[in-house]
């Protein structure tokens, strides 16, 4: 069975939004929706990009894609390791 025109539009829009405006897509998909081919396409387009990103990065877990700096910062906070900040306080200028 061929996909409907609405499904294909939704798929392409979902893919694009997940790539460039993921927060907007998240908000759209969390609102109550009627059962519609377009919404199914949005969801599937989002999922397709997620699969491609995971395949390209070789990561099995999306959490592995976090910024390495953020991971180190969180590890330091968890261990109460002081950061070697050599910045100036506002009062020291």
Q: pLDDT tens digits, the chain, 93 residues: what are they?
A: 577 899 999 999 999 999 999 999 999 998 887 778 999 999 999 999 999 988 887 765 555 555 665 666 666 555 655 555 555 555 554
What residues make up the domain containing 14?
Answer: 5-81
Q: Determine, yes or no, domain membership for 88.
A: no
**What pLDDT was estimated at residue 34?**
73
* Dist. CA 45–CA 47, nearest whole Å: 5
| Phi, psi for 40 (deg, rounded to 5) | -60, -40
Output the CA torsion sign for 57, 61, 65, 68.
negative
pTM: 0.56
Q: Determine, yes or no, domain membership for 87.
A: no
The alpha carbon of 42 is separated from its chain's Cα centroid by a whole number of angstroms, namely: 15
**What pLDDT was estimated at residue 62?**
54
**What pLDDT was estimated at residue 71?**
63
**What pLDDT was estimated at residue 77?**
59
**What pLDDT was estimated at residue 33?**
73
Q: Determine, yes or no, domain membership for 91.
A: no
Q: How many domains does the chain have?
A: 1
* Dist. CA 73–CA 27, nearest whole Å: 29
Q: Determine, yes or no, domain membership for 50.
A: yes
**What pLDDT was estimated at residue 3?**
78
Surface-to-core class of residue 62, CB atoms within 10 Å of its CB (0-12 exposed, 13-18 middle, 19+ buried): exposed
């Amino acid at each position: 069975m061929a996909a409907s025109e609405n499904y294909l539009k939704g798929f392409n829009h979902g893919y694009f939004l997940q790539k460039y405006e993921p927060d907007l897509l998240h908000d759209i998909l969390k609102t109550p929706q009627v059962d519609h081919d377009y919404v199914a396409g949005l969801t599937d387009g989002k999922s397709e990009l997620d699969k491609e990103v995971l395949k390209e990065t070789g990561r099995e877990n999306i959490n592995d894609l976090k910024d390495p700096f953020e991971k180190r910062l969180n590890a330091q906070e968890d261990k109460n390791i002081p950061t070697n900040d050599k910045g100036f306080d506002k009062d020291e200028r």
